[in-house]
Amino acid sequence: MDELKRGLKEILESKLEVFDNKYPHRDYEITITDPEFTCLCPRTGYPDFATIEVKYVPDKYCLELKSFKLFINKYRDRGIFHEEAVNEILEELVKVVQPRYMFVRGDFNPRGNVHTVVTAEYLAEGFRRKQE
C-alpha cells in the first residue's frame, strides 16, 4: 500500500479552523490573498489558475491561515467552474468563520483570450458596511 506524501495527507485531512477574535467590539477588515489557486476545467480537464482574495469583518472568530491554505489546495485536482469555486469558497468560509461581512474574489488567468473575475459576498443580518 502506497503511503501518502505528508503534504497531500495534510491537505486531504485538513479542516478550516478559527481562533477567537480579541477585538469583537470593533469593526476591522482582514484581507487574505492566495495568488496560487488552481483547479481544473470540468469540461476539458485543463488547469485553471487564479488569485483568490478574501476580505472579511470578523465577529467572534478569525480564520486560521494554515487551515485556509490547506483548504484552498483541496481544489487543485478538482473539476469546477470558476463561478462555483468562488461561491463555494465563500459558503464554506462563512459557515466556519461566521463573519459580519465577507467578500471573495477570484481573478482567473486568461484562457483562450478570455479573462474571468468572479465576486461573491455575504452580509450578516443587521450588519452595514461603512462607505469607503
E strand or H helix at 68: helix 65-73
List, for residues 76-116, the tens digit of each pLDDT value: 999 999 999 999 999 999 999 999 999 999 999 998 899 99
Residue 98, domain CATH: 3.30.1130.10
Whether residue 55 lies inside any domain: the answer is yes
* Domain extent for 89: 15-107
Mean pLDDT of 27-51: 97
Whether residue 50 lies inside any domain: the answer is yes
Whether residue 116 lies inside any domain: the answer is no
Cα distances (angstroms) measured from residue 108 to each of 26, 59, 73: 33, 29, 16
Least confident range of 11-20, 56-65, 73-82: 11-20
Whether residue 119 lies inside any domain: the answer is no
CB atoms within 10 A of CB 116: 16
Catalytic residue among 2, 27, 39, 48: 48
Whether residue 81 lies inside any domain: the answer is yes
Whether residue 9 lies inside any domain: the answer is no
Separation of first and last alpha carbons in the chain: 56
Catalytic residue among 41, 59, 62, 77: 41
Rounding to the nearest 10 degrees, give the CA dihedral for residues 127, 82, 36, 46: 170
- The count of structural domains within the chain is 1
Whether residue 129 lies inside any domain: the answer is no
**Residue of 85, 7, 75 whose CA lies nearest to 38:** 75
Q: Does the annotation mark 62 as catalytic? A: no
Q: Does the annotation mark 41 as catalytic? A: yes
* pTM for this prediction: 0.92
Q: Reduced to 3 states, what is the DSSP secondary structure of residue 102?
A: strand
